[in-house]
Structure 1
């Protein structure tokens, strides 16, 4: 696989074919929202009453939690929700949005800028990165980004706290120096997509100048446990993942600032936002209320404590006063 952006552009050209096969995108069809909620600070809105809205997500805990938050808020506002969370892969979620198979998905500014827009250089400033990807997506794909969140879930390499302490590893540069002395220790666990993404292994290897001894590919959920149990010494992690705390992992600082900004925001087709502007009033306050520390805790509840993500999202929405339960 080459760059995701090239695959995206090729896939857009066959949208008509893809639209006939939801299963090909890894979507489950017509899944009802599992919880009933009552209005809190999110009140019923005439423009959303009875409106069918399909919410999708990618296939990792944080994005699934965000999807449930959106679904619960929109349900309280009166919309008729279909849940299509847990779509397999960024490409499938993106093409589902473009093709109209889903109406809303939460996306990350770095992913949009590099993997969908095909840029190679990230923009270091959060606001500038957001404005650039927002403008490009509206012009090229008819996709609107609502106001972005302080939640910034970028990539990092993780190792166990014990391994980091033993080898004095605090940064990616420390890791690079260590691997020059001990090249056989360079066993990395990453997901398949990250192994070939421009903002993944190829780019970070070039920036820091290290060569892995071995790259093992797993689903993102398996990588954390693979680091913890010694299957690999280093692994791709997300900086807001609850398993960092739950498995006593150590995050290596990206001291050369390679990884892009990954602030999250709801994305929708531009025409959908134009037709139903009330969705902005529901989703933007939710985006503003969630941050990295809160998401680490919510993710820990799901991935370490084994709670259902829908229940965790519901409890968070209730704690913020957005919705109530009877």
Structure 2
């Protein structure tokens, strides 16, 4: 009888510890999302590593899709956190028509407005600006005498239907994308000269000559790796795009330590660091996980 009682007590203690462990694990779980391009996947995995270091269990949902997919996933609770860009939120989510070109001013506006209107908290901002850009092959740009977007506009007007332009669907349709850009610079590619494709194919299409100009991202390592040049935005069309982790208000209230966890990135994750990581993944074909972890160790954050 005593043996049975002791066995029962032991079983209950084991069950209690198991349940406590499970509850603790659920309590400290964060689902991390990211969009479906290299830089976003790197940023997502950097967040995962830092969260795990600080006692969180994480679920990896990086590579979700485009901007609207990632945002909807956050709003619907499918993910708890992802990195968004200030300029994207300003124009696409908050529907502001006035472009803010000062990084801190843009961040401050977005942080306040997104919390007030949508109950979303913006954590500390990264110092690099991954703005959209238009790229050309270096030799082709020099041959045509194109250095700026104004130069491109003049060339397109003088050489009707000669230039093929590569873009993805999102940039073509965005309110801070192609259509307002052509209005700002007063030019228009012929309908047949616009080639829509996935972001991954754009760089190869430009390199191979299938397109003459392509949209890109300023911190993309393939710009250097493939010998492209970025055309100067001489009329300051593009907003600033500094990334920051974004969470729901209730998530932040539950885990206020998230701000402290990601704060060290604001001193270390600059343009050079992000561009190099993108280069290592896209040009040197290193695994995203290895690149993210190696940078964290080099930066003294792991």
Q: TM-score, normalised by structure 2?
A: 0.89
CA shift, 1:321, in A, is: 1.1
- 1:294 is paired with a residue whose SS is helix
User: Which residue does 1:100 correspond to in 2?
Assistant: 77
User: Which residue does 2:243 correspond to in 1?
Assistant: 264
**Is 1:172 equivalent to 2:149 in the alignment?**
yes
User: Which residue does 1:280 correspond to in 2?
Assistant: 259
CA shift, 1:184, in A, is: 2.1
Query: Out of 161, 169, 177, which is 2:138 matched to?
Result: 161
The CA distance in 2 between the partners of 1:199 and 1:83, in whole Å, is: 29
1:48–1:140 Cα change, 3 Å = farther
Extract structure 1 runs of 4+ deviating beyond 6 A: 47-50
Count of residues paired in the alignment: 277
- 1:183 is paired with a residue whose SS is coil
Matches within 5 A, 1:1-326: 51-213=28-190, 214-323=193-302
- 2:161 is paired with a residue whose SS is helix
Query: Is the contact made by 1:186 and 1:211 (CA closer than 8 Å) also made in structure 2?
Result: no
The CA distance in 2 between the partners of 1:253 and 1:168, in whole Å, is: 13
The CA distance in 1 between the partners of 2:162 and 2:117, in whole Å, is: 44
| RMSD, aligned CA | 1.4
Unaligned runs of 5+ in 1: 1-46
Query: Is the contact made by 1:188 and 1:216 (CA closer than 8 Å) also made in structure 2?
Result: yes
CA shift, 1:72, in A, is: 0.2
Judging by fraction of residues, say which structure has more helix: 2
The CA distance in 1 between the partners of 2:77 and 2:175, in whole Å, is: 27
